[in-house]
Amino acid sequence: MNDIMRMKRRTFLAGSAAAIGAAGLPSLAFGAEEITFWDMVWGASGYTDAAREVALAYEPAAGLGEVSYQSIPWANWYQTFTSAAASRTTPAVSSGAAFLPFYFMEQGVMIPADNLVSKLDAAGKNDFLPGLLDAMTTHDGIAAMPWSMDLRVLWYRRSLLEKAGADVPTDWDSYIAAGEKLAKIGAVGLGIAASSTTTDAKHTISALMINNGGGFFAEDGSLDCVNDRNIETLEFLKECVAKKIIDPYAISYNSDNVETDWINGHIAMGFGQTGMDRIVPESERDDLQVANPILGPHGDKGTVYYINPLMMFDTTPSQDSSEAFLEYYLDNIKAYWETGVITDLPVKRSIAELPVIQNNPKLVLAINEWQPHGKTIAAQSNEAFGALNAVDGGNATATFAQRIVEGKSDSRKLLEDLQGQLEKIMN
């Protein structure tokens, strides 16, 4: 963990003449035990500096602990957290991967966020977007606080659709029709990367499964891969492969390849993160547009999202300090969107209503039209659980995605194989 950057508020302030100014050091709360905040490296260049500044500007009330900030790299993140949990060296609070809180809740090393949510309710600060707190809720309580969201939306290049004489899709039938026209001009209708080094294909497939009212799980949380809606989704993808709406090279593509094809104007449509238009020069960004949510064959709307959490561990020296810091942090992370260091969506209405968001019609469309129909990969389960870490990051779903993009296998057989592999992981 040599690349972890750790800094305390006192050190930060002492080393920053600009921050201190002529007024000198602010008062510090000595006496209470310090808490540690682990933070993953989110967003664009500059995020970690911005996050450190926000965290270390925290001034605890009397009797509460100061905070020290540690930036945690994504490399070996799972081992970093599980090793810390095993040795009882987890921080007081931490950001982390989407499904990590559910695993740690099951391990009994987390403090549920219900009390903090009650405090936000009392203070009039519980303005989370629809469904997000529900998605974090388990039968043992609210696993963690949401702070940002990776939402997958349908992007399209307006100029390529116009060149092909294609309309922006509104449902799966019109998607195929547009994709066929795009294929005739050599453009890709569903940009996707399915190599072993990326989760891109898995995200797109999950988005389409949810768009069709399907998913990997039943409402009671049991595995339910082999159902009619999922078979229908795989048949749609198989048709995309057969009609070259999905690029034959997609099976070996990584995320950089897909990004390059978007930039070069080879890909005309595909699912991607909000803020994806930032990969092209500013002069071309108007050409990349977010479509309205498309309808599945049965009239469903939906996509996949990943809620980025803030977790509270039971190794904190003071739960009151942990909650007070997170309440402050959630009040101040708006700086990330105001300074453009993050591309994920905000999860709070008060941040979504900032001018920097409201002046971007693509973000407004994503928040108002796509987010309410989003679900996690736990869909159609009523709650998330720890095994989703292995489902999301494991080889079973990666292999499943590659076989779909090959376009050669029977859809039911693919889902049966996936179900068998996931049963081994979850049992």
pLDDT digits (tens, 9 = 90+) for 405-417: 999 899 999 999 9
Q: Tell me, yes or no, whether 236 and 259 share the same domain.
A: yes
Q: For position 2, what pLDDT does the model report?
A: 35
Residue 277 included in any domain:
yes
Q: Before 380, cis peptide (omega within 30)?
A: yes
Confidence of residue 9 (pLDDT cuts 50, 70, 90): low
- Whether the per-residue pLDDT at 206 is higher than 50: the answer is yes
Confidence of residue 7 (pLDDT cuts 50, 70, 90): low
Q: Is 155 helix (H, G, I), strand (E, B) or coil?
A: strand
**Bridge partners of residue 273, in order along the sequence:** 152
Look up the pTM and report it.
0.90
Q: For position 390, what pLDDT does the model report?
A: 86
Residue 9 included in any domain:
no
Q: Tell me, yes or no, whether 143 and 165 share the same domain.
A: no
Q: What is the count of structural domains for the chain?
A: 2
Residue 22 included in any domain:
no
Q: Tell me, yes or no, whether 182 and 259 share the same domain.
A: yes
List the structure tokens of 211: 């768009």
Q: For position 15, what pLDDT does the model report?
A: 46
- Whether the per-residue pLDDT at 385 is higher than 80: the answer is yes
What's the whole-number mean pLDDT along residues 240-263? 96
What residue type is assigned to position 423 of the chain?
E
Answer whether 229's CB lies under 8 Å from 122's CB.
Answer: no
Q: For position 44, what pLDDT does the model report?
A: 73
Confidence of residue 247 (pLDDT cuts 50, 70, 90): very high
Q: For position 393, what pLDDT does the model report?
A: 80
Q: For position 26, what pLDDT does the model report?
A: 37
pLDDT 10s digits, 172-205: 999 999 999 999 999 999 999 999 888 899 999 9
Residue 25 included in any domain:
no
Q: Tell me, yes or no, whether 38 and 122 share the same domain.
A: yes
- Whether the per-residue pLDDT at 1 is higher than 50: the answer is no
Q: For position 8, what pLDDT does the model report?
A: 58
> Of the residues 332, 354, 374, which one is the last residue of a structural domain?
374
Q: DSSP secondary-structure letter at 233?
A: H
Q: Tell me, yes or no, whether 367 and 390 share the same domain.
A: no
Question: Which domain does 248 fall in, by range?
Answer: 151-304+376-426
Q: Is 388 helix (H, G, I), strand (E, B) or coil?
A: helix
Q: Tell me, yes or no, whether 102 and 53 share the same domain.
A: yes
- Whether the per-residue pLDDT at 62 is higher than 80: the answer is yes
* CA-CA-CA-CA torsion sign (159, 161, 163, 167): negative
CB contact set of 213 (below 8 Å; sequence gap of 6+):
229, 296, 298, 300, 302, 380
pLDDT 10s digits, 112-154: 999 999 999 999 999 999 999 999 999 999 999 999 999 999 9
CA 418 to mean position of chain CA atoms: 23
> Of the residues 334, 358, 374, which one is the last residue of a structural domain?
374
Q: Tell me, yes or no, whether 110 and 166 share the same domain.
A: no
What's the whole-number mean pLDDT along residues 241-245? 97
Confidence of residue 24 (pLDDT cuts 50, 70, 90): very low
What's the whole-number mean pLDDT along residues 159-184? 98
Question: First CA to last CA across the chain, in angstroms?
Answer: 32
- Side-chain half-sphere exposure of 337, counting CA atoms within 13 A: 27
- Whether the per-residue pLDDT at 222 is higher than 90: the answer is yes
Answer whether 356's CB lies under 8 Å from 362's CB.
Answer: no
For the stretch 388-405, what's the b/e string if a residue is b when 16 or more beta carbons lie within 10 angstroms of its beta carbon? bbbbbeeebbbbbbbbbb
Q: Tell me, yes or no, whether 362 and 390 share the same domain.
A: no
Confidence of residue 13 (pLDDT cuts 50, 70, 90): very low
What's the whole-number mean pLDDT along residues 365-385? 96
Please count the residues of the chain. 427
Q: Tell me, yes or no, whether 400 and 344 share the same domain.
A: no
What's the whole-number mean pLDDT along residues 366-376? 97
Residue 8 included in any domain:
no
Q: For position 197, what pLDDT does the model report?
A: 86
Residue 15 included in any domain:
no
> Of the residues 374, 389, 413, which one is the last residue of a structural domain?
374
Q: Tell me, yes or no, whether 274 and 420 share the same domain.
A: yes
Residue 226 included in any domain:
yes
Answer whether 33's CB lies under 8 Å from 99's CB.
Answer: no
pLDDT 10s digits, 262-320: 999 999 999 999 999 999 999 999 999 999 999 999 999 999 999 999 999 999 999 99
What's the whole-number mean pLDDT along residues 59-79? 94
Answer whether 398's CB lies under 8 Å from 392's CB.
Answer: no
Residue carrying the six token digits 């020069």:
281
Q: For position 11, what pLDDT does the model report?
A: 55
Residue 1 included in any domain:
no
Q: Tell me, yes or no, whether 215 and 293 share the same domain.
A: yes
CA distances from 262 to 63, 192, 200, 267, 293 (A): 53, 10, 14, 5, 20
In CATH, what number is assigned to the domain containing residue 51?
Answer: 3.40.190.10
Q: Tell me, yes or no, whether 280 and 330 share the same domain.
A: no
Answer whether 106's CB lies under 8 Å from 221's CB.
Answer: no
Q: For position 22, what pLDDT does the model report?
A: 37
Q: For 302-317, give the DSSP string.
A: -EEEEEEEEEEBTT-S
pLDDT 10s digits, 34-57: 999 999 999 778 999 999 999 999
